[in-house]
Chain A
Amino acid sequence: MNFVIRWLGRTADADTNDKVSAESRPPLDPKWDSLYAHRQLGWLALKRIGFRAKRFLKRLRSPRRLIATSLVLLFFSFYVMNGIFILSTRAATDPLHLRLWLSGGMVLYMMYHVVKCAWSTARVDLELSDAETFWLGNSPLCRSSLAVYHVGNLLLPAALKTMMLSILLARDVRYPSLLVIGIFTSLVLLEMLRLTLGRMVSGMSHKQRGWFRLITTCTAFALTIQLLSCVHSSTPSGSPMWLYVINSLQGLGEVASTPMIQFLSTPWIAAAHLTVTESLQPLTALQLLAALGMFPLSLMLLVKTDYWTLRQEQKREVSRLSDGQYETRESQSQSYSGLQINRLRSAIEYCTPESARDTLNLIYRQAISVRHYRFKIAISLLLPTMLCLSPLFMGRLTEQWFYVVSGIALCTILLAPPALRIDFRRDLKRMMLLRSLPVGPFSMVIGQLTLPIVITWAFQLITLTIAASVIHPGWDQLILWTGMLFAFAVVTFTSENALFLAYPHHQQNEGIAMMLRTKLTFIGKGTVIAIFLCLLVLWATLCRNLLPEPYASAFYVSGSITATWLAAILGLAAATLCWRRFDIAIDTPPE
């Protein structure tokens, strides 16, 4: 890397001497910068990567992060060993299917991003950090160079993802090098199109966005119906739930292989063909060129879209100004409802005991955020509810309750934390402020975590009530699972926040650290669920064998609930300890 940096530096200095002649030449296209500017951006990117790599290695050696380092090394060892010794012995996948899944899978993933973009209210501006926006946005660079710079930053995370996927798929292809190129180009293209789409949505008017939402949601709905019909036709009625899960994965592959999805996957077709190449032919070279050619094409599309968005935003601004659709400082101050806010605050303070006021004020602050994001939260919990209730339509009554409860537990541990980030995780930039508040560690944790936990409880209770009204599992089952799942929600959020406070990261972070973190967290959560189920079965067996029947059930229910609530209290203590231990100077990661 040092050699590359030196090379960039040398040519930059040489170019400085040619400044006059270079500037006297008219630019071919005013939207694109010279190679010189891109070399400087390359220099910046390499310097930053170098710093991050050093920091990563330093962190790996830090005693403070010993557990995380050990887990990372263990994970990598297992992953690679699994790829070499276990996955390499399995039967190879049919190349045709693999090709269709690769290209179609990218479209399905893109569809997810399309719907997400359509409903997102955030304005996407090339996803630059504050420093990049200031230093690069303020410098004599075209917007296209900022886009190129951002895309350049995406290459390393894409390379890491490629490495992981290549280990999985190496058995299925003849040329691993082409597999790596195919996957890498596909992933980078996906990221660039996602960025382009986000930028395009930012440029849409209110009406255009409404239509876009309608069309994309209907398309996503149609795809879901198609998937469900695939699963329904391939699974005999009354089959066990696990068969539905396996067939739904196959159904996804079938949907990805359909002609319409394959038509939409045109940008990825060449890369997919390249991946499953069976013999090197002149066509392979063409496929390679086509796959690589997608980079400049998608980059130009991104730049064009960016300019279109800027123009649209400017047009709408001018239009609003000319139509008088705006507020001034005076009109804003007239609409201020100070009296209402003061009354609400007084009412809250009146109803709360002195000792709990700190916590309640923090909850009040969280409630304002919940009110702001209420639709997003409702939608992100509506889908898990429907997913958890889907076993009710499968027919086998004996397993339905088990699958509903399992679904709720899975959604609680896997989907609720990313959907409800209204806790410490969103406050990394405000840690100084939180630290300066005259609130004790325990009160702080309670104040930060109460609302996400309560919202998860609401999701659990609604789902359990609907399922219970259909299945009628009995009061003991309802009490048992309600009590345990409530505690499980507390365990989930306290451990998630404890982990975050021990190893904090910025929300927009990417790269190897984040990828490993996500995978390790996923494995960790899976392990927790497995241990939890084993302990439950063990406890049920013990109760049944050691106690007479009337007492066995009562002991089983009360013991299970007590144990999970003890785990919840431990989680709360861990989160409190981590918040107390959190050091702003050491633990706040650079952006």
Chain B
Amino acid sequence: MIEVNGLRKLYDSYLAVDSISFSIGAGQICGLIGPNGAGKTTTMRCISGLISATSGSLKVAECCVQSNLKTLKTRLAYVPDDPPLFDDLSVGEHMEFIGRLYRVPDHHKKAINLLRQFELLDKYNAGATTLSRGMRQKLAVCCAYLYSPSVILLDEPLTGLDPPAIRTLLESVRVRAAAGATIVISSHLLAMIAPICTHLLVMQNGRSQYFGDTETLRTQFPDAETLEDAYFAATQNTATQNTATQLTAPQPNATVLPQPDDQNSGAATSHGVPEAIS
């Protein structure tokens, strides 16, 4: 689970994220959407503990981000947009390093399975510099899945992926959420992530414009035919001004909703998903 309360982040003298609050439960998938520079990546990095929040409280995977960072990092995976790889390691060595560092039992076998799932097995001995943008993205996702984290943050994971890989990734996200993982997925391809998202967090100019389940967003904007139209309506200034009070006010559906897969989450361990899917 992720509980963010009043998150604010200042870069030098620029306020990148301003008073963001939301809560996502186990087994839920939250789509983090918003225009470029909205503060999505900063929010994700604060949640992952990669950068420290200036103010606000963050509780992720039952760990306080500020005080229990090391434990948190064993339970959380963050995959950035265009992940930087070690130029002097091969695909297999990346997986092996993560397996060792996170003490994953039988990590070699799991690595092979994941690489096969994402069609990277033939690149096992290939150097990182020989990989395309999409392959790098897939390798980072495989590394993230290897230690079965209970919280997964995916920043623009679909960029550079081919259609089969997109399908594989989205399916894997759905499976992991069903097994109890909490997933935040940031993307501009709203039409692609919408079917798997249970919640949406719409950000603009560092602020939250909307947080709640996908259906409520549609009902907020009855004129919108699709979720994408509703997103545009939420991020347009006029719409924002008109509905600011309405959107930022606490909503009955903005808290965690019971999900169809909730019964599965009981099978998950408190800090990780079951071994069967990893």
Interface string of B69-93 (1 = CB under 8 A from A): 0110110001010011111110001
Q: Is the CB of A16 within 8 A of B105?
A: yes
Residues of B within 8 A of A139 (CB): 73, 98, 101-102
Interface string of B23-63 (1 = CB under 8 A from A): 00000000000000100000000001010101100000000
> Does B213 sit at the interface, judged by CB under 8 A?
no
Q: How many residues of B contact A (CB 8 A)?
A: 39
Chain A: CB-nearest residue to B144: A138
B10 interface neighbour in A47, A52, A326, Cβ under 8 Å: A326
Q: Is the CB of B50 within 8 A of A137?
A: yes
Q: Is the CB of A327 within 8 A of B54?
A: no
Chain B: CB-nearest residue to A13: B100
Residues of A within 8 A of B127 (CB): 51, 590
Residues of B within 8 A of A129 (CB): 84
Q: How far is the CA of A15 from the CA of B104 in the complex (A)?
A: 11
The distance from the CB of B124 to the nearest CB of chain A, in whole angstroms, is: 15
Q: Is the CB of B74 within 8 A of A48?
A: no
B100 interface neighbour in A12, A314, A317, Cβ under 8 Å: A12
Residues of B within 8 A of A590 (CB): 87-88, 127-129
> Does A58 sit at the interface, judged by CB under 8 A?
no
The distance from the CB of B112 to the nearest CB of chain A, in whole angstroms, is: 16
> Does B277 sit at the interface, judged by CB under 8 A?
no
Residues of A within 8 A of B244 (CB): none
Q: Is the CB of B89 within 8 A of A47?
A: yes
> Does B13 sit at the interface, judged by CB under 8 A?
yes
The distance from the CB of A238 to the nearest CB of chain B, in whole angstroms, is: 55
> Does A330 sit at the interface, judged by CB under 8 A?
yes
> Does B157 sit at the interface, judged by CB under 8 A?
no
Chain A: CB-nearest residue to B94: A135
Query: Contacts A48-B88, A327-B14; is A30 near B50 (CB within 8 Å)?
Result: no
> Does A368 sit at the interface, judged by CB under 8 A?
no
| A-B CB pair tally, cutoff 8 Å | 102
Q: How many residues of A contact B (CB 8 A)?
A: 44
> Does B103 sit at the interface, judged by CB under 8 A?
yes
Q: Is the CB of A326 within 8 A of B80?
A: no
Q: Is the CB of B101 within 8 A of A327?
A: no
Residues of A within 8 A of B70 (CB): 30, 140-142
Residues of A within 8 A of B83 (CB): 134
Residues of B within 8 A of A40 (CB): 97, 100-101
Residues of A within 8 A of B37 (CB): 329
Residues of B within 8 A of A48 (CB): 86, 88-89
Q: Is the CB of A321 within 8 A of B86?
A: no
> Does B205 sit at the interface, judged by CB under 8 A?
yes
14 residue pairs A–B, Cβ–Cβ below 8 Å: A16-B105, A40-B100, A48-B86, A51-B88, A132-B86, A134-B83, A139-B98, A140-B73, A141-B70, A325-B13, A326-B10, A328-B14, A590-B88, A590-B128
Contacts A51-B89, A142-B70, A314-B54 given; 7 further ones with Cβ under 8 A? A19-B105, A44-B97, A139-B101, A320-B10, A327-B15, A329-B37, A590-B88
